[in-house]
Amino acid sequence: MLWGQSPSLYPHSLPLVEQATELFAAIQFLVIGLSHALQPRAWVDFFVWLRGKGHTGVFVNGFLSLIFGSVIVGFHNVWTGLPMVLTIFGWAQILKALMSFVVPQYGLRSMHRVSHERTREFVVAGVFFVGMSVLMFYIALRR
């Protein structure tokens, strides 16, 4: 259900909005996941570059999390079954953004973990995101 809306106003549009959000997330997870898995050194370079910008770099990362999380939370308020996974992920992204904006030193400390010696962690994250993509495609296309 959309925020503040009576379910009886648009009974048929809500599943379409939720399905569209699931497809949006599936595509995002797939592209970012494949990129993390296949280009982990580029991601390390990107986060090292962001880290070099200090709190400004943390803000940039926070904006990316806020945009993705806000789209999910705004259009996918589902708290039952497998679709709930996406809603929880959306709220986690908003929490990450909040931390980035309110306590940027926390985000900067996290970015200090990134190094070429730990490139494998981006591959693992990529596999996770591809898995999330498969789950979102499954949820969206079974409706």
Cβ atoms of residues 27 and 132 within 8 Å: no
DSSP 67-88: HHHHHHHHH----STTTHHHHH
Q: Is 11 inside a domain boundary?
A: no
pLDDT in tens, 8-60: 444 556 789 999 999 999 999 999 999 999 999 999 999 999 999 999 999 99
Q: Is the pLDDT of residue 3 over 90?
A: no
Decide if 2 is inside a domain. no
Number of domains present in the structure of the chain: 1
Residue 90 lies in a domain: yes
94 vs 105: CA distance, rounded Å:
17
pLDDT in tens, 60-85: 999 999 999 999 999 999 999 999 99
Provide the pLDDT for residue 143. Answer: 80
Count of other CB atoms within 10 angstroms of residue 83: 20
Please tell me the predicted confidence (pLDDT) of residue 12.
Answer: 59
Residue range of the domain that includes 46 = 16-141
Query: Alpha-carbon distance 11 to 50, whole Å?
Result: 44
Angle at 46 between CA 63 and CA 111, to 5 degrees: 70
Token reading at 131: 């898995």
Asked whether residue 8 is domain-assigned, the answer is: no
Res 13: pLDDT:
66
